[in-house]
Chain A
Amino acid sequence: MKNEFNVIADLIEKDKKVLDVGCADGILMKFLKDNKNTNIRGLEISKEKVQECIAKGLTVIEGNAEKDLKQFPDKSFDYVVLSQTLQAFLNPELVLNELLRVGKKAIITIPNFGYWKVRLHLLFKGTMPITKTLPDEWYNTPNLHMCTIKDFVHFVKSSNIKIFKSIALNKLNASLINERNLEIKNLSADLGIFLIEK
């Protein structure tokens, strides 16, 4: 399991009810179900991935986060997880509000556009950055709204969303982000992981 998922799993206590939005092939769901006795549900847009989840014995609903989150009642999950997908929505702000409505807390991860490799790529090559976390070309990337860790932190603060924990991830290194080291982490981290609540 990738390190991002280890960090997410560490944020979730045992016996909680969790919705994994954009759960893909269900690796994180399976881990939570087996190791944390999580009552886990998934929402996934790809038919193939839904089939893979069913084959793992996971409860998944085929659907689209931008349309299908509204069927879940307020605060019906302890945690809602969204991994590296926020930037791919037409309206990330709307989706984020829905996640925070459905979940008591939300765990959001974002690929950091402020990562130094991304910055150098644009600075020296003059083309849209391609990295491990951002593997697609500008013309076929699903990412519509790229942001940096700093952008995300500013955005949630201005939206009166509480941040419980911010974690910077770079390969295997996970470290806490705070106000003092924000500039550094915004440069050194490949991925940002946020535990938030509204």
Chain B
Amino acid sequence: MNIETNLKTLIVKNPLKLDCGKTIKDFPIAYETYGSLNSHKDNAILVFHALTGDQYVSGTNPVTKKDGWWSYAVGPGKAIDTNKYFVICSNVIGGCMGSYGPSDLDSENGNIQGTNFPVITINDMVNAQYNLLDYFGIDKLFSVAGGSMGGMQVLQFISNFPDKSKTVIPIATTSSHSAQNIAFNELGRQAIMADSNWKEGDYGSNNSNPGKGLAVARMAAHITYLSKKGLQEKFGRKLQEREDLKFGFDADFQIESYLRYQGSVFVDRFDANSYLYITRAMDYFDLAKQFNGNLSDAFKLTKAKFFIISFTSDWLYPTQENKDIVIALNSIGADVGFVEIESDKGHDSFLLDVPDFLNALKNFLDKSYEEN
């Protein structure tokens, strides 16, 4: 990874006991902020990123030189308006953009940790990020928001810290990873581990990189982020820079070329072991199980106002799984709103320019803030 040295990092001194039993301390959390914290410190929004996201929510990502992953939603005048709100986002632990992860050195033996890095969970990620509140002197956030794995962190956050946010916005997410979700993640992990350059996770000290495996993992996952209709409309059976089929295994079709490109650029910015660890954390996520099978109990201590959003064409985290969270909240009389947004763009809808979604998000935040 080619990470710039001016990365903002908080070194967490407090020991953190992980779900796996191991305790970590003095570990880094890389973060970024947008907008400014007001004097009452009541305008902060903690954004949680998804599987392959990072702390660079908006503006230009200094590593990839591309737009931040949630640029459509976060920025001056946007749905999450940085003229009004102070947005904090940090790289999850297990990640590869400066937070404590498998490519970090083991403090005891100086080796790259690789698969000696502890298995982390969504709960661990959230508990690690909670240190940012103390760091910024924020007693209560105005909102916690995130889509996909970011949504899982949102749910875990308000469950762990029921009075630490006024509003809660889980988007295109689930309270429990389904068999299908786990299956797709396992496919990605197996692709990485099947690459001979993976070397049991020890590629860092062998100066190799399981790029092919990671690219295949990304290609497979990318398909799950789109809808059949969206793919058909964008690519159909269009051929890639050729008049006719070539009777070979080059990328004849545009969709093949597109996926190969997605795979190759991903390898440049993402660490294969991080991919293993983060997908594992998602698979282990089952909030209801943490409360003996009763999801409502995860939220019974919070007075926060929830707004849950799903998308019609999202088959990875379908509307019903989002509605299950709404039902759990309604059954304890929590303050919860819900909308399913019409979109052909699949699970990725929350990252894209989907005006109905962005308007709903903006209206919910701004109206809730006025009532503050």
Contact = CB atoms under 8 A, between A and B. Distances in A.
Interface of A: 41, 47, 50-51, 54-63, 71-73, 76
B359 interface: yes
Contacts of A54: 307, 337, 339, 360, 363-364, 367
Query: Nearest 10 pairs between A and B by C-beta?
Result: A57-B367, A71-B327, A55-B363, A61-B338, A71-B330, A59-B337, A54-B363, A62-B339, A50-B339, A54-B360
B371 A57 contact: yes
Given A51-B356, A54-B363, A73-B331, A59 B305 contact: yes
B366 to A, nearest CB: 8
Nearest to A63: B338
A72 B339 CA distance: 17
B367 A72 contact: no
Nearest to B310: A62
B336 interface: yes
B335 interface: yes
Contacts of B205: none
Interface string B32-65: 0000000000000000000000000000000000
Contacts of B342: 47
Contacts of A71: 326-327, 330-331
B370 interface: yes
A72 B331 contact: yes
B337 A57 contact: no
Interface residues of B, number: 25
A64 to B, nearest CB: 11
A26 to B, nearest CB: 11
A51 B337 contact: no
Given A47-B339, A54-B364, 12 more contacts: A47-B340, A47-B341, A47-B356, A51-B356, A54-B339, A54-B367, A55-B363, A56-B367, A60-B338, A62-B340, A71-B331, A72-B331
A61 B306 CA distance: 11
13 contacts: A51-B360, A51-B363, A54-B307, A55-B367, A57-B367, A57-B370, A57-B371, A59-B336, A60-B337, A61-B326, A61-B336, A71-B331, A72-B331
B236 interface: no
B83 interface: no
Nearest to A73: B331
B208 interface: no
Interface string B279-293: 000000000000000
A158 B370 CA distance: 48
A57 B338 CA distance: 13
Nearest to B369: A57
A50 B338 CA distance: 9
Nearest to B306: A59
Given A55-B363, A57-B371, A62 B338 contact: yes
Nearest to B340: A62
A3 B220 CA distance: 57
Contacts of B230: none
Contacts of A73: 331-333
- Residue among B337, B340, B341 having the largest count of chain A Cβ atoms under 10 Å: B337
B308 to A, nearest CB: 9
A18 B146 CA distance: 30
Contacts of B111: none
B232 interface: no
B368 A57 contact: yes
Given A50-B339, A51-B339, A62-B340, A76 B363 contact: no
A177 B241 CA distance: 77
A50 B357 CA distance: 12
Contacts of A72: 330-331
A60 B309 CA distance: 12
A174 to B, nearest CB: 32
A57 B326 contact: no
A138 to B, nearest CB: 30
A47 B309 CA distance: 12
Contact of A76 (B333, B364, B367): B333
Contact of A51 (B330, B359, B370): B359
Contacts of B332: 73
B368 A61 contact: no
A72 to B, nearest CB: 6
- Residue among B338, B342, B364, B370 having the largest count of chain A Cβ atoms under 10 Å: B338
Contacts of A76: 333
Interface string B283-321: 000000000000000000000010100000000000000
Contacts of A57: 363, 367-368, 370-371
A59 B342 CA distance: 19
Nearest to A51: B360
Contacts of B326: 61, 71
Contacts of A59: 305, 335-337
Contacts of A60: 337-339
Contacts of A51: 339, 356, 359-360, 363
A144 B371 CA distance: 41
Contacts of A50: 339
Nearest to B371: A57
Contacts of B327: 71
Nearest to A33: B371
